[in-house]
Amino acid sequence: MNKRSAHFVGSIPFKDEKTAMAKAVRYLGRHLLSLPDGEIGKKSDRHRMGERLGWIQWVIERFEDNPAFTMVKKPSYDRRNGLWADYDSGVRYSLNVRPQDLHRHLDFGYVGYFNSSYAIFKSLRKKYRLKNLSFQFGIPGALAISLFSLGPVQGLRTRKIFEDRRATEANRIHEIAGDDVLFQIEVPIELGLSIKAPRFLRPLVTRVAVGYIISLVNKLHGKARVGIHLCLGDLNNRPFSRIRDVGPLVSFSNEIVRQWPEGRPLEFIHYPLAMGNIPPVADPEFYAPLRRLNLPAETRFIAGFVHEKLSDKTHREILALIEGILGRSADISSSCGLGRRTAEITERMLKKTAKLLA
């Protein structure tokens, strides 16, 4: 087996971005190929743990003061962390402008957060002498923002407009950092559509959903580095989609590989093997569909199975199952961002990951 690496999906629930990155590097620095900034953001009475904890929620909340939008449904919040209470409790807007004019009113705020965190990242990388470490920046598929803000009908109609803005901000980040930044495209909605589709429609829905992902990839700078985080959702540590085995993930990622643009490397695919608070299982049948996985040799497979409810022994058993089926090494991660855990639980998970890599 080749040397394994560790991977952070995104959010890391510590005081601020500097603290999050520093702790991640202290625990796992020599095992990391890329590092996100922890996705914490500004703190307020509503978001005491940081606004970016909410993944796309913080982007959509920016529309509250945007004259192009009118709120038609108020969100319900979990008072503990400021997140929407569940997947049906989010905000809903209507448009005050024609869809074709919407692009003039969109600013997701990613570039500003990138600029502030990238400087901290470079300082920490130099301090810890991790010269090959890349800055990882997560970007959602456009459907997540359009559907959760405008609903299914208007959300589908405006998807390309949100996608264009998403690509514009990512390309601005690439202009600043070049190949020092690795973009992680996060696709819980696209994957969820595939998983939840009726069986007879699933191949068609999968092709269309993956096509949306590829559409965004094609709008990124030709030299932008890209990996894919297959995501089952983790709002308040509860999944958006559930699976009985990894078959739906394999079918979806195989379709990504089939449609992937020729000549553009796919750096990694991350598989979520837990479902929020539901830990991964050590059942060979759950992982058996990995035999059908079609992945380029240069594309890293990241197994998202590190979970606070599992023992070190079970972690090792699951890793052995996965690598035995793949016939290659797997990099190691949690199933999603850690921001919905406490800082104490997160530190325990980092220690568990370090043990697996020792």
Within a domain: 198 = yes
CATH classification at residue 302: 3.20.20.210
> Six-digit token pair at 62?
């920016």
- Percent of the chain having pLDDT more than 70? 99
* Residue 349 to residues 67, 207, 223, Cα–Cα distance (Å): 43, 35, 34
User: Where does residue 210 rank: exposed (0-12), middle (13-18), buried (19+ CB within 10 A)?
Assistant: buried
Within a domain: 86 = no
* Cβ atoms 220, 171 nearer than 8 A: yes
Total number of domains constituting the chain: 1
Query: Residue 207: what pLDDT?
Result: 98
Within a domain: 48 = no
- Percent of the chain having pLDDT more than 90? 86
> Six-digit token pair at 14?
């510590």
Q: State the sign of the Cα–Cα–Cα–Cα dihedral 253, 290, 229, 156.
A: positive
User: Which tens digits make up the pLDDT trace of 72-119?
Assistant: 999 998 888 888 888 888 999 999 999 989 999 999 999 999 999 999
Q: Tell me what the mean pLDDT of segment 308-313 comes to.
A: 94
Who wins on pLDDT, 56 or 204?
A: 204
Q: Mean pLDDT score of the chain, rounded to an integer?
A: 94
Q: Tell me what the mean pLDDT of segment 257-266 comes to.
A: 97
User: Which tens digits make up the pLDDT trace of 115-125?
Assistant: 999 999 999 99
Q: Residue 118 CB: number of other CB atoms within 10 A?
A: 18
Within a domain: 74 = no
User: Which tens digits make up the pLDDT trace of 165-220?
Assistant: 999 999 999 999 999 999 999 999 999 999 999 999 999 999 999 999 999 999 99
Tell me the pTM.
0.94
Within a domain: 106 = yes
Query: Residue 79: what pLDDT?
Result: 82
Within a domain: 193 = yes
* Separation of alpha carbons 163 and 252, rounded Å: 20
Query: Residue 1: what pLDDT?
Result: 46
In terms of residue numbers, what domain contains 117? 17-43+98-357
- List for the chain the helix, strand, coil content (%; round to 5): 50, 15, 35
Q: Tell me what the mean pLDDT of segment 247-256 comes to.
A: 98
* Residue 107 to residues 30, 92, 168, 181, Cα–Cα distance (Å): 36, 18, 10, 20
| Residue 170 CB-half CA count within 13 A | 29
